[in-house]
Structure 1
């Protein structure tokens, strides 16, 4: 029989670790770790009911309507949210403005930064026009003192910038490593749930755009927010992923200026080249809303190896649409370098934008712009067939709001808004007859058949 494994358990909160530590990583108490066998390491569990208040979940407005919408209506007490983004995208600025708004509304907040000193954060607040006395600051380098400060102050919100810079000196792992990140996150989640303090953790992303650190980081938090955009344009996009308190996929747009982030209506910035060859309008669903977004393409003939490069579009989807056009649409793209992009740096992963991307590529290859004030909605199959997109009601409303008059789509989309007409198509060649390629003869044969 194997040797019985022993555990170290905190006598105050029941936190279990595999080796002795002087300070409990769960509650922060000193000298409470005791050796126990697995059979006796557990603590009694207090049973409770699921009785709830009739009014629903209490929420606090952040003072920024876009953030409230992404969160599902505001910030729920004891929420743990992860704000992930690339370096320099504006996470620290967003956190500072969020903390300042909540503090001004009478909700005390604590901002902890392990990447910047107090003077650096104070200078940013001065540039943004935020009164420094509104914001309470604490060093975010060491977990223990931060937990003590949060328990002593009991703020409504604890903002940590960033979780990768936080370290538990009682643990033996390398600061910023997966084990440290996991342990610090677990301690902060325990703090939020036991003390009722909302916690927002700024997090890094990898070069592939994924959240840095162990995958358990995303599982442990209640909300995952992604903050990205094109740094050179100033356009930023806050999108909600996992959300236990609201709908997933909601999006808010901001513009970075000298005085901070300002929420904007992105419609004017997402359609800039209408009427030019190589541009077509898509109607993607971004969250619960749909928007008219310009998709751009460039086709350059080459004698060497052909490149395929996309910005703001899924690379695999871009290559698939190009292959379908070459084979099923009879548009010669195999010996050409292809480049695709979205206006404003918006990232699109909606399959119903395939037809708009195909229209942009066909327009760039032929030099003929798409029909004026038109949009394209549909997912392309490998045979060139166009499949309908979900949520056509919202897409048609977005087309009307953008001043469009024609929508190329698969089948009949249902009731049409005033001033908007639908052009039903079943094959990609039908939707691209305006480009002048001979492939439309195949579409005519299909209709006859």
Structure 2
């Protein structure tokens, strides 16, 4: 006879089902339902007969609420992404591919915060204390007063954190923790959900900032149930392309700061180094610009960034032309190619098209449409763009060049790095240091590039 408190949780998406089935009805994954015993959350009280319950006390929006205090970690790029520092009592989930440098980043963050006077604890469920000490020695952080522990038992971790108060606690990683109140194994949906919930509850009660490290799946999503992302106050992702030393810290959710903010780091022998001017890093060395290259003036979060788009259009040696893109949306590339064919008379049906964003940065902004189109046209016509020219603008399906936001910040960043020309949609702001060439339609931009008129 089945137990009344038994449920079946999907190990892929976390959906809960009353009975077992071969396929999850929420995510359509097969053979992912595992039996779990549902239990009342720790600390929850059973309803008492005859007990009087207090009603809700509502408040208005007129009351003044002070800004939450911040704990500066000493790593400016990390503080920027968090919104100016770590808020006491907040819960942060940090995810990233294996080997990208999550543990290295958090060890540097905890060490610098401890050197600034914060009480910091680093709890690892994946490495021994000797390994952490060895890494800290290589990075020159061996003298930082960080409390270390290697433990996976949730009960022991909670008891230790209740005995001693910490300003910042790092748990690496949440998938290695296990609670003896559940029968499921470590890393299962039930364990991840329960352990994350207990740590978030401790953070709010003790006013301790908790950073949880989360693994990612093959498609780059945080492993485990999506409810964990809703529990925490901020979800940060640490990204990096193989073969590049650059690492991007990106905020996908932040209750105490801006979303889509980025911090740029460079991996070296002694750990991660902050990159204060990412535009100069992504552009590389100066020199004569080759055909097929266009510099895009973009915005990442609140920061203007210049990055180079590289395109190559070559005759296809096979029956089906190839389309390859790195660092940009392949669907967006297909749209730009279709507009160039339909509105500007270019034929890419027998051409291989390769598009690359230099430096390993991934661009998600629609304002990069015109820069990608300029690089493609430059490669197809073998006509390089001017050395000091930046490009930005959104392309509509009708071939119209649409205006984009924060044009003044884009031009200011371009001027700071020595660019004096801009190919863009019509602007309402004018920067005296950058001469703008306004285009209303893609055909005008193609004509100026192919005839070298700016």
TM-score, normalised relative to structure 1: 0.86
Q: Does 1:224 align with 2:238?
A: no
| Structure 2 counterparts to residues 194-205 of structure 1, below 5 A | 194-205=205-216
Structure 1 residues 140 and 381, CA gap change in structure 2 (3 angstroms): farther
Structure 1 residues 202 and 290, CA gap change in structure 2 (3 angstroms): same
Q: Which moved more, 1:260-269 or 1:78-87?
A: 260-269
Shift of 1:254: 0.7
* Counterpart residue number, 2:104: 93
| Structure 2 counterparts to residues 383-422 of structure 1, below 5 A | 383-411=398-426, 413-422=427-436
Given that residues 122 and 148 in structure 2 are in contact (C-alpha distance below 8 angstroms), is that contact kept between their aligned partners in structure 1? yes
* Counterpart residue number, 2:336: 321
Structure 1 residues 328 and 140, CA gap change in structure 2 (3 angstroms): farther
Q: Does 1:266 align with 2:278?
A: yes
* Counterpart residue number, 1:193: 204
Equivalent in 370, 375, 379 of residue 394 of structure 2: 379
CA distance, structure 2, for counterparts of residue 143 and residue 117 of structure 1: 17
Shift of 1:47: 6.2
Structure 1 residues 255 and 6, CA gap change in structure 2 (3 angstroms): closer
| Structure 2 counterparts to residues 40-55 of structure 1, below 5 A | none
Given that residues 62 and 75 in structure 1 are in contact (C-alpha distance below 8 angstroms), is that contact kept between their aligned partners in structure 2? yes
Query: Which residues of structure 2 form unaligned runs of 5+?
Result: 7-35
3-state SS, counterpart of residue 175 of structure 1: coil
Equivalent in 297, 303, 314 of residue 283 of structure 1: 297
CA distance, structure 2, for counterparts of residue 67 and residue 176 of structure 1: 27
Q: Does 1:163 align with 2:177?
A: no
* Counterpart residue number, 2:364: 349
Shift of 1:390: 1.3
Given that residues 37 and 183 in structure 2 are in contact (C-alpha distance below 8 angstroms), is that contact kept between their aligned partners in structure 1? no
Shift of 1:170: 2.0
CA distance, structure 2, for counterparts of residue 406 and residue 42 of structure 1: 72
CA distance, structure 2, for counterparts of residue 43 and residue 135 of structure 1: 44
Deviations 1:104-137 (A, max 9, x none): 1111111111111111111111111112561211
* Counterpart residue number, 1:447: none
| Structure 2 counterparts to residues 14-413 of structure 1, below 5 A | 26=42, 36=46, 56-131=67-142, 134-264=145-275, 265-272=277-284, 275-302=289-316, 303-411=318-426, 413=427
CA distance, structure 1, for counterparts of residue 63 and residue 175 of structure 2: 36
3-state SS, counterpart of residue 93 of structure 2: strand
Given that residues 285 and 291 in structure 1 are in contact (C-alpha distance below 8 angstroms), is that contact kept between their aligned partners in structure 2? yes
Given that residues 6 and 38 in structure 1 are in contact (C-alpha distance below 8 angstroms), is that contact kept between their aligned partners in structure 2? no
Structure 1 residues 436 and 202, CA gap change in structure 2 (3 angstroms): same
CA distance, structure 1, for counterparts of residue 396 and residue 245 of structure 2: 36
3-state SS, counterpart of residue 269 of structure 1: helix
Given that residues 115 and 144 in structure 2 are in contact (C-alpha distance below 8 angstroms), is that contact kept between their aligned partners in structure 1? no
CA-based RMSD of the aligned residues comes to: 2.7
CA distance, structure 2, for counterparts of residue 187 and residue 159 of structure 1: 14
Shift of 1:206: 2.2
Structure 1 residues 288 and 96, CA gap change in structure 2 (3 angstroms): same
Q: Which moved more, 1:232-241 or 1:126-135?
A: 126-135
Q: Which moved more, 1:114-123 or 1:204-213?
A: 204-213
Deviations 1:259-283 (A, max 9, x none): 1111012222211376111110111
CA distance, structure 2, for counterparts of residue 365 and residue 165 of structure 1: 52
CA distance, structure 1, for counterparts of residue 233 and residue 80 of structure 2: 16
Shift of 1:19: 5.2
Deviations 1:85-120 (A, max 9, x none): 111110000110111111111111111111111111
Structure 1 residues 42 and 408, CA gap change in structure 2 (3 angstroms): farther
3-state SS, counterpart of residue 270 of structure 1: helix
Structure 1 residues 388 and 304, CA gap change in structure 2 (3 angstroms): same
CA distance, structure 1, for counterparts of residue 395 and residue 345 of structure 2: 15
Structure 1 residues 49 and 346, CA gap change in structure 2 (3 angstroms): same
Number of residue pairs aligned between Structure 1 and Structure 2: 415
Shift of 1:415: 2.8
3-state SS, counterpart of residue 185 of structure 1: helix
Structure 1 residues 52 and 360, CA gap change in structure 2 (3 angstroms): same
